[in-house]
Structure 1
Amino acid sequence: MLRIFNTVNGQVEQVRTTEEGSWVCLSDPTDVELATVSQETGVDLAALRAPLDDEERSRVDSDDDYTMIIVDIPTVEERDGRDHYETIPLSIVVTAKLVITVCMRDTPVLHPFMEGTIRGFNTYMKSRFVLQVLYRNATMYLRYLRVIDRNSDNLELKLQHSMQNREILQLLELSKTLVYFTTSLKSNELVMERLRILPRADEPNDRVHRLADSVLPNSGRIRNQSLLRLYEDDEDLLDDVITENKQAIEMANIYSGVLTNMTDASASIVSNNLNNVMRIFTIISIVISIPTLIFSMYGMNFQNGMLGMPFTNTRWGFIIVLVISLVVTALVAWWLTRSKFFK
């Protein structure tokens, strides 16, 4: 889907044609839409196709005509009645006249920008736009991590009385999601560190910091060719983005450790629950065997005068034997339920 947005009188509106300061949004684009945008903007078609590969790594690439920033964003989709979380690439291409975003799905990360609900958002402020998208991306990670934490708490309560594999499989799925989140967040962190070396608004383009180049390879090339320039407010926003991203990394690591321990303990919980069930069945089997033994002995054929069974010749013999068997059964059941062997 190809959509074009522009800031008109302080409001974000969807327009039909591109102009200077526009934002071109490509969500699950077709080949025709990609070719059209490439022809109109001069951006290489291969660069526009890059984020359509879900294995594309996060990076910053600068060319003479554009600067491309690829980051991993969180996404959620429903599978079997449950939310499934994963990460996909999002590309932000900044040219001399406009900004292009490319993603394989219609992501909720960009929805507030389309609706104009982001404070201080203008399509023509390219550097601010990029940082606002990154900030929104970091907050989405934090939101999904909190949801995952609540889901893990619910699974923990279910595991206390569960003997099924469903909850364990859900824990493994959440653990896998946290691994993806952690890997993507660390890759995004490298991208944000590269954004730190972008040229400032009050310095010339040809100034290259050797110190930055010694820390990040090819940083001088990025500074010289980048079409982005950081203003004073942008630097503060970049610091906020890095802080939020680091917080997301810490939360993902903490939740991952908790889920790992919970997964290890779940097997013991299921085993203990199974032992409790087997304990109940064992007590029932022993208790039932007592009256079964008594009545099976009385069911044997004994001749009169030969080792007769007690109470066989009395009028109330059957009732007496029945009462005795019930009393013995009750005593044995009481002892077994309190015996340390069956705790």
Structure 2
Amino acid sequence: MMKIYRTQDKHLTRVDDMNEGAWICLTNPTDDEVRRVAATLDIEPADIVAATDPEESARISLEDGYTVIIVDIPVKVDGAGEGIYTTIPLGILLTQELIVTVCSTDTAVIGDFAACRVKGFSTRKKMRFVYQLLYRAATMYQQELRLIDRRRQAIEKNLAGELKDSDLMELHGLESTLVYFATSLRANATVLDRLTRYKRLEQYPDDRELLDDVIVEIRQAIEMTSIYRDDIKGTRELFSSILDNRLNNAMKYLTSITLLMAVPTVISGLYGMNVQSDGMPFANTTAGFAIVLGLTLALCVFAAWVLHKKHML
């Protein structure tokens, strides 16, 4: 889908022509749309469709007459649980007259600009628009990171109750998300570092301040990712420790029950031997059976008391 916007009288309006000061927004573009934009702006079609490849890495390159900037942005994984995200490329192409954005799916990074929810946004200020896009992406990372940490805390609260396999799988999914975030944020930081050194890109003082803000936000997101990865690692280790402890308690309890059952088993086994009754205590006594049962019960109670004192029962 292709939409063309232009800021006129401080209002964002949708237009049909690709003239100076326009913003061409491509979302999962068709081949015809790619060819039209490439022919009109004299851009290589491969540079336009690069951002639709999920394996494309973040980069910046200066081409003949235009600049290609590709950064990674977070998106929620369809059908996955809360806090499970991945990253996809967002392409930004700068020409002398206008700006082009390319993404494989609808994303809030672009949607906020199209809905005029970004203060001071103008399609005519191309570099400021780029930095605003990068700033919005950085803040989105931080929002999703906070959501991931809240989800981790919710899972951690279940430790006192019944542990489920789904909790462990969700914790693994959160950790995988943080791995994707860490990789993408480092690549985005590299792109920002190169933006500060390219003299070809015209920058104004206000734009420079905004770029510094973007760099700060990216660094903060990287630090948050590192901290939350450590938190999830600690939670996962706590899960393992609790499971091991519960298994040890179960084995200790079963061992104690086995010891208690061994007492009547041994006594009944001795009295069940095919020997003369003269040598067996209480064998010729009328109340012998009751006496043996009583002694057996007493021994079991004593064994249970000893195990209880040793915290094994």
Q: Assess same fold via TM > 0.5.
A: yes
Deviation at 1:9, TM superposition (A): 4.3
Change (3 A) 1:44 1:335: same
Deviation at 1:140, TM superposition (A): 0.9
> Which of 290, 297, 312 in structure 2 is aligned with 1:326?
297
> Which of 231, 238, 254 in structure 2 is aligned with 1:281?
254
Deviation at 1:277, TM superposition (A): 1.4
* Corresponding residue for residue 314 of structure 1: 286
1:338 aligns with 2:312: no
* Corresponding residue for residue 211 of structure 1: none
* Corresponding residue for residue 238 of structure 1: 211
Identity of aligned residues (%): 40
1:256 aligns with 2:222: no
Deviation at 1:163, TM superposition (A): 7.0
Q: Which amino acid aligns with 1:130?
A: V
After TM superposition, list the pairs within 5 Å mapping 1:208-219 onto structure 2: 219=198
* Corresponding residue for residue 293 of structure 1: 266
Q: 2-side partners of 1:329 and 1:15: how far apart?
A: 90
Change (3 A) 1:312 1:245: farther
The one-character-per-residue Cα deviations of 1:149-205 (angstroms, maximum 9, x if unpaired) are: 2233344444577777654444444333323222221221122122224xxxxxxxx
Change (3 A) 1:80 1:277: farther
TM-score if structure 2 supplies the norm length?
Answer: 0.85
- Structure 1: give runs of 5+ residues left out of the alignment: 198-218
Name the SS for the 1:78 alignment partner.
Answer: coil
After TM superposition, list the pairs within 5 Å mapping 1:15-30 onto structure 2: 15-30=15-30
Bigger CA drift: 284-293 or 271-280?
284-293
After TM superposition, list the pairs within 5 Å mapping 1:49-198 onto structure 2: 49-79=49-79, 81=81, 83-158=83-158, 167-197=167-197
How many residue pairs align between the two structures? 313
Q: Which amino acid aligns with 1:231?
A: Y
Name the SS for the 1:310 alignment partner.
Answer: coil
Change (3 A) 1:319 1:147: farther
Name the SS for the 1:69 alignment partner.
Answer: strand
TM-score if structure 1 supplies the norm length?
Answer: 0.79
Q: Which amino acid aligns with 1:331?
A: F
Deviation at 1:144, TM superposition (A): 1.5
Change (3 A) 1:80 1:244: closer
Deviation at 1:24, TM superposition (A): 1.6
Q: Which amino acid aligns with 1:87?
A: T
Q: Which amino acid aligns with 2:23?
A: W
CA contact (8 A) 1:52 1:103 kept: yes
Name the SS for the 1:35 alignment partner.
Answer: helix
Q: 2-side partners of 1:170 and 1:260: how far apart?
A: 13
* Corresponding residue for residue 247 of structure 1: 220
Name the SS for the 1:54 alignment partner.
Answer: coil
Change (3 A) 1:134 1:165: same
Deviation at 1:16, TM superposition (A): 4.4
The one-character-per-residue Cα deviations of 1:214-268 (angstroms, maximum 9, x if unpaired) are: xxxxx4xxx23x3xx3222222211111111111111112223343455455544
CA contact (8 A) 1:69 1:91 kept: yes
CA contact (8 A) 1:77 1:85 kept: yes
Deviation at 1:307, TM superposition (A): 2.9
Q: 2-side partners of 1:42 and 1:11: how far apart?
A: 28
The one-character-per-residue Cα deviations of 1:266-325 (angstroms, maximum 9, x if unpaired) are: 54443333212111111122122323334444555676x62344276435x555544443
RMSD: 2.9
CA contact (8 A) 2:83 2:174 kept: no
CA contact (8 A) 2:83 2:144 kept: no
